[in-house]
Amino acid sequence: MRTTRASGKPGLAACLLTPPGEGGISVIALWGEGAAGFAEARLKPAGGRTAAGHTVGVRPGRLVYGFFCGESGEILDEVILGFAARDRVEINCHGGALPARRILEDLSSSGVSIEKGGAGGAFGHGARIIEREAFEALPAAQTSLAARVLAAQAGGALEHAADGIGAVLSHPPVDFQKASRALGALSATAALGIALTRPAAVAVAGPANAGKSTLVNALAGYGRNIVTDVPGTTRDAVRVPVALFGVPVVLIDTAGAAASRTPLAAEAALRASNAVAGAHAVLIVVDSSAALPDGYAPPGDRQRTLVAANKADLAPNAAGLAAVHEWGVGVVETSAVTGAGLEDLSEAMLGVLGVPLPGKDSAAGAVIFTDRQLECVRKALQAVERGDVKGVLEALKSLSSGP
Ligand SMILES: Nc1nc2c(ncn2[C@@H]2O[C@H](COP(=O)(O)OP(=O)(O)OP(=O)(O)O)[C@@H](O)[C@H]2O)c(=O)[nH]1
Ligand SMILES: [Mg+2]
């Protein structure tokens, strides 16, 4: 989103770096030729001397405390200005929606172009596209693995890999096989990279009282959901973010399949089936120490279903377990109470989601983490198959430089 430019400061742009909402501070980036001088002229330093015309000794790396004034001289907020370079300033004002909005509105009416917000916006000025995409995704990273992978891509890992593949084709002898292998390996990283930035949802369904909520709590690491020994405890579909080997996933705990026909039970069942329909995968939790309820059939399609045969700490019910194995889907024995089998279950869940298990080096190398990047690599692969060097180089260029 770009506001209409007014006259006055055609070379300057600004954007809000911090997310909207309550917080200690908001940070506005202001950049463009003359940004430091512009900000300096708007600052009334806390030390006394008035704003315009008086120097505060701006130099890169300096922080200056004072009051940021509007075009008319009105004080807009108490701020700390950070001068990152001659043409880049960060305005740290009070948090919450209003102080930053007042400053941005004033900058806009002074002719400063207001750019799309988020950390990526601040780097839009001269930034490479993959770096910008990484900085846009970083604030939403939910696990340290996601943050490390994105930081590595912001630092150039993916761009470097693309350059390396381009180099293989740019000089004779052109090695299509090598380029094809490298592009194949690169596109295979997308399953992990995209899962890190766009967490998949797994619906947790199954008969009442099987231990669904206890299992979700165990995977989350805290008592998010109410657990009791009364069948029918869970009614709502409750979304619980968890990390499976560093991969963020949203588990949706649902009401157990039960025979009750009350309106509340009917609504709970509807919410459960909606969760199953909308999820990327389904984890069916059964009580392996009991027979399956009469007529119970697993919801969802088999390709994306996994079973946790829970309560494995109790004596197994052979007939119930045999019936579950007939469903033809992966079965992992778990005990949500002792924690047994939870690692195997986490690994199996990633398998059903098509996400490779992250390795020690996953955060260090090149990783595709957006659909746009994957599309570029796919185009490069197609061009390799056609023997079209120019097509590959163009696709790699758009991976690193955008359309
Ligand atoms: N022994 C044993 N008990 C378990 C295990 N998991 C859950 N339970 C117990 O089983 C009972 C039901 O657990 P919940 O987690 O509420 O089961 P649920 O499937 O969410 O039940 P609804 O929400 O009613 O469908 C509780 O008393 C739990 O403590 C397990 O692995 N082993
Ligand atoms: Mg429950």
CATH of residue 228's domain is 3.40.50.300
Locate the ligand 1 atom nearest the alpha carbon of residue 210 and give its number: 19
Of the CA atoms within 13 Å of residue 339, those in its CB half-sphere come to 6
134 with 120, same domain? no
223 with 288, same domain? yes
| Dist. CA 81 → ligand 2 center (Å) | 51
32 with 179, same domain? no
Q: Give a yes or no: residue 32 inside a domain.
A: yes
Q: Give a yes or no: residue 358 inside a domain.
A: no
Q: Give a yes or no: residue 360 inside a domain.
A: no
Q: In whole angstroms, how far apart are CA 27 and each of 97, 99, 126?
A: 11, 10, 20
| Dist. CA 325 → ligand 2 center (Å) | 23
Locate the ligand 1 atom nearest the alpha carbon of residue 310 and give its number: 31
The pLDDT of residue 7 is 40
Q: Give a yes or no: residue 1 inside a domain.
A: no
* Total of domains in the chain: 3
Q: What domain range is 346 assigned to?
A: 196-353
134 with 207, same domain? no
The pLDDT of residue 8 is 47
Among 204, 212, 214, residue to substitute to test ligand 1 (most atoms within 8 Å of Cβ)? 214
Q: What is the pLDDT along the chain (403 residues), one digit of tens a residue?
A: 333 333 445 689 998 888 777 888 999 999 999 999 899 999 988 765 545 555 566 677 888 899 999 999 899 999 999 988 778 899 999 998 799 999 999 999 999 999 876 554 545 445 588 988 998 898 889 999 999 999 999 989 999 999 999 998 888 788 899 999 999 999 999 999 999 999 999 999 999 999 999 999 999 999 999 999 999 999 999 999 999 999 999 999 999 988 778 999 999 999 999 999 999 999 999 999 999 999 999 987 899 999 999 999 999 999 999 999 999 999 999 999 999 999 999 999 999 999 999 988 888 899 999 999 999 999 999 999 999 999 999 999 999 987 7
Where a domain ends, among 75, 93, 126? 126
Q: Give a yes or no: residue 107 inside a domain.
A: yes
230-245 pLDDT tens trace:
999 999 999 999 999 9
168 with 207, same domain? no
Question: Distance between CA 401 and CA 60 in Å, rounded?
Answer: 29
| Dist. CA 335 → ligand 2 center (Å) | 15
Among 204, 216, 227, 345, residue to substitute to test ligand 1 (most atoms within 8 Å of Cβ)? 227
185 with 244, same domain? no
Name the residue with the closest Cα to ligand 1, atom 2. Answer: 311
| Dist. CA 209 → ligand 2 center (Å) | 7
List the alpha helices (DSSP H) in 230-317: 263-278
Q: Give a yes or no: residue 235 inside a domain.
A: yes
| Dist. CA 288 → ligand 1 center (Å) | 12
Name the residue with the closest Cα to ligand 1, atom 1. Answer: 311
Q: Which ligand is nearest to the CA of 215?
A: 1
Q: Give a yes or no: residue 61 inside a domain.
A: yes
299 with 394, same domain? no
| Dist. CA 238 → ligand 2 center (Å) | 10
Tokens 């979304």, residue located? 239
Which residues lie with the beta carbon below 6 Å from any ligand 1 atom?
Answer: 208-214, 227-229, 231-234, 255-256, 310-311, 313-314, 335-337
The pLDDT of residue 360 is 83
For 206-299, list the strands marked E by DSSP. Answer: 238-244, 247-253, 281-287
Q: Give a yes or no: residue 2 inside a domain.
A: no
What's the pTM?
0.82
The pLDDT of residue 20 is 73
Q: Which two tokens stand for residue 365?
A: 């190398």
230 with 313, same domain? yes
Residue 382 class from Cβ within 10 Å (0-12 exposed, 13-18 middle, 19+ buried)?
middle
CATH number, domain with residue 52: 3.30.1360.120
161 with 220, same domain? no
Please state whether 231 falls in left (phi above 0), alpha (psi between -120 and 50) or beta: beta
The pLDDT of residue 337 is 98
What's 198's DSSP letter?
Answer: S
Reduced to 3 states (helix: H, G, I; strand: E, B; else coil), residue 155 is: coil
Q: Which ligand is nearest to the CA of 311?
A: 1
117 with 137, same domain? no
205 with 84, same domain? no
Question: Distance between CA 309 and CA 210 in Å, rounded?
Answer: 9
80 with 44, same domain? yes
